[in-house]
A and B are shown apart, each in its own frame.
Chain A
């Protein structure tokens, strides 16, 4: 079945970096955009950016420009998000999600498959 499986929880100190992975299975990896969304404890959803697994081009939310890097490894059908210069406000659950339709049909799309989430805690 189509699924996205994310890496486990992380605890980091302020100023450090964290890299979260999201492994796709059950579909052709390069055919669908992958998005990253985060959710601080008790808060709403915040879009961070998207990556095209075919070629690796990225589009980041302005808030995260310069501090977030998304990448992919086509050999393992895995995408990554790395957040640098962590601060306490980055404490959140980080989700990857797949676009609903093939990327050549729609460049903007709703998110139909989600990973289980990865809790990142930033604390000294």
Chain B
């Protein structure tokens, strides 16, 4: 089974800054079947990115995804106060596996 490792575990930034979150897979992710989700306390996850780089419906363009093979990145170009949350990557090409999450906190 593919294992996804997210880094860093916690990222401390200020509103207006750029955030870069990493997701590394133990094996190549087929057809870039890689998604990113945002989760706030007490809420279900929200799909941000699918297919490694396509934004889901209604997601602002400050969120972007990139990468292929085993290395993927979620970038938030300019952090808004509502962006501070936990982010998970997920591969869905070979079964379904989530990373352990990156907490994005206000500095």
Interface on A for B, CB 8 Å cutoff? 35, 44-47, 50, 61, 95, 97, 100, 108-112, 114-117
Contact = CB atoms under 8 A, between A and B. Distances in A.
A114 B56 CA distance: 14
B60 interface: no
Contacts of B92: 108-110
A44 B50 contact: no
Tier of interface size on chain B = 20 to 34
Contacts, number: 55
Nearest to A114: B44
B4 to A, nearest CB: 10
Nearest to A115: B44
A45 B37 CA distance: 11
A117 B41 CA distance: 12
13 contacts: A45-B45, A45-B90, A47-B97, A61-B95, A97-B44, A100-B50, A108-B93, A110-B51, A110-B56, A111-B45, A111-B90, A114-B44, A114-B46
B3 to A, nearest CB: 12
B96 A112 contact: no
Given A100-B50, A110-B35, A110-B90, A44 B98 contact: yes
Interface of B: 33, 35, 37, 44-47, 50-51, 56-57, 88, 90, 92-93, 95-101
Given A108-B33, A112-B57, A35 B96 contact: yes
A112 B47 contact: yes
Contacts of B56: 100, 110, 112
